[in-house]
Amino acid sequence: EVQLVESGGGLVQPGGSLRLSCAASGFTFSIYWMHWVRQAPGKGLVWVSRINSDGDSTTYADSVKGRFTISRDNAKNTLYLQMNSLRAEDTAVYYCARGTRAYAFDIWGLGTMVTVSS
Amino acid sequence: QSALTQPASVSGSPGQSITISCTGTSSDVGSYNLVSWYQQHPGKAPKLMIYEGSKRPSGVSSRFSGSKSDNTASLTISGLQAEDEADYYCCSYAGGSTNWVFGGGTKLTVL
């Protein structure tokens, strides 16, 4: 079964750091672009970041640029999101998603909640 | 980059058809035939329903169709069913530093 499972979310104070993980299974992880998409409570989806299949090309939304780092370990079939200098507005459910050649997202994880609060 | 513009809500009765619009700009929807649509039920992950503006992934009902004209994309659901009640989001690739932009979402109510 094709599956993505996020982990690593939790409560963190403003200015703190958190690393999210996304474990992939059921498909050849190493050939796909991967993404992080977030959704604040009661709000819409927002694209956060993308990494290519080799891990040597990354892009970010302006709102997280310089604070978040996306990475991957193809040997472990795992995607990561290192989040530093967290702000209250980063509070959201973070989804990892598989990218398609048509620049869509065809497989999504269940998400992991990140709460930034003192 | 501003989010794509969708109506906050639409509604329809079972069996009817509804259309959800998604308005962008010449920098996103108008420049690329790379609009996708997602269905999200409460507390669940989004599900891809349409990609490249009008193509359906395997397993998605033919009741769902997509189209695009200039800077506006549309999702049409025909033969509405109770299980179609959900939030729907459009998304467009926008290239450059913007990359991907989502719409604000539309809540579909099946009366």
Give the C-alpha distances (Å, rounded to integers) separating A11 from A30, A66, A112, B10.
31, 21, 11, 35
Q: What's the order of all strands across the beta sheet hosting B72-77? A: B18-23, B72-77, B64-69
Eight-class DSSP state of B3: P
CB contact under 8 A, A104 and B91: yes
For residue B59, what pLDDT is reported? 96
pLDDT > 90: percent of chain A:
100
For residue A97, what pLDDT is reported? 98
pLDDT reading at B13 higher than 90: yes
For residue A117, what pLDDT is reported? 97
Give the C-alpha distances (Å, rounded to integers) separating A108 from A11, A97, B17, B101.
23, 4, 28, 17
Cα A13 to chain centroid, rounded: 19
pLDDT > 70: percent of chain A:
100
pLDDT reading at B1 higher than 70: no
For residue B98, what pLDDT is reported? 73
pLDDT reading at B58 higher than 70: yes
For residue B109, what pLDDT is reported? 97
pLDDT reading at A65 higher than 80: yes
Q: What average pLDDT is seen over chain A? A: 97
- Tally of CB atoms within 10 A around A8: 16
Whether A102 has its CB under 8 Å from any CB of chain B: the answer is yes
Whether A72 has its CB under 8 Å from any CB of chain B: the answer is no
pLDDT in tens, A29-52: 999 999 999 999 999 999 999 999
For residue B90, what pLDDT is reported? 98
Q: Which helix (H) or strand (E) holds B91?
A: strand B86-95
Contacts of residue B64, Cβ cutoff 8 Å, sequence gap at least 6: B37, B49, B50, B56, B75, B76, B77
Whether A73 has its CB under 8 Å from any CB of chain B: the answer is no
pLDDT reading at B2 higher than 90: no
- Distance CA(B99)–CA(B68), nearest Å, equals 19
Eight-class DSSP state of A82: E
- Distance CA(B96)–CA(B28), nearest Å, equals 10
Q: B96: pLDDT confidence band, cut at 50, 70 and 90?
A: confident
Whether A104 has its CB under 8 Å from any CB of chain B: the answer is yes
Interface of A with B in 22-51 (CB under 8 A): 35, 37, 44-47, 50
